[in-house]
Structure 1
């Protein structure tokens, strides 16, 4: 079993003993998503820590999007619940990149891509290939793509 998955299971046990309904419900949901990912496909397998982080990141993103939808739908109490679940999941995710850190990584990737001969808007794919492994789950893809487009437009 992965260390992240076992940590989540241990934290779930502690939350149940402490009668923390929000944390226990959120961790149950996260473990269900991890298990679903493990049994998806032709053969069951164990997820690596990186894969578990990706699943948790997807679940956190779902919570953010659901909170926004509930806010727009006039259901602030449900939106607050979704945000609280997102905060529980955030405990297990790496610290998100600040805008300045992301811009710095993107600028370095743009310089590297241009050194390799990529120019203009067509350099987008080359820059994304360079920057995505460095970002690795610490920023959403749309945010990274927007930063890359901005950097390419400026340069």
Structure 2
């Protein structure tokens, strides 16, 4: 399980004295625990690996946005710190689909659903998320779907 892998990697990083990696892994662990606490009262709990991947995807998205803001603001040292955290987060995410693979999947789904225009974008996006959720950057896919349906 992904949660156990993250715990093991945290211990390994601590033993190796790698402070930056340890800090990033502890941050991941804390976010996962926060999500567990949020879901205690919920009736529907996702599978454990799905929950962890969802947390990691959100963390990665936050890091990318922060990197962009720091670079725009001329704060390269903070951008570099965020990039290091992003690298650790991405180690545990499934391999992301390339642009070509994404385009091919969009075309397949368009053909299967009979999507022809922008009014069908929601249907195509829902099917993309259902099939490739964790291995697909949905914000980038959204642009590709829009381009394809125009």
| TM-score, scaled relative to structure 1 | 0.89
Q: Deviations over 1:43-82 (max 9, x none)?
A: 3878610110110111111111111111111110110110
Q: RMSD of the TM alignment (CA)? A: 1.7
**Contact 2:63-2:83 within 8 A present in 1 as well:** yes
Aligned to 2:131: 134
Give the alignment of 1:59-74 within 5 angstroms: 59-74=59-74
CA apart distance, 1:129: 2.1
Q: Which runs of 4+ in 1 moved over 4 A?
A: 44-47
Cα distance in 2 for partners of 1:99, 1:72 equals 26
Unaligned runs of 5+ in 1: none
Higher helix fraction (1 or 2): 2
Q: Bigger shift: 25-34 or 40-49?
A: 40-49
Aligned to 1:150: 147
**Contact 2:96-2:137 within 8 A present in 1 as well:** no
Size of the aligned set, in residue pairs, is 148
**Contact 2:13-2:21 within 8 A present in 1 as well:** yes
Aligned to 1:14: 12
CA apart distance, 1:99: 0.5
Give the alignment of 1:1-155 within 5 angstroms: 3-41=1-39, 43=41, 48-114=48-114, 118-153=115-150
**Contact 1:109-1:127 within 8 A present in 2 as well:** yes
Cα distance in 2 for partners of 1:47, 1:132 equals 16
Q: Bigger shift: 32-41 or 135-144?
A: 135-144
Unaligned runs of 5+ in 2: none
**Contact 1:102-1:144 within 8 A present in 2 as well:** yes
| TM-score, scaled relative to structure 2 | 0.91
Q: Deviations over 1:80-100 (max 9, x none)?
A: 110011001111001111100
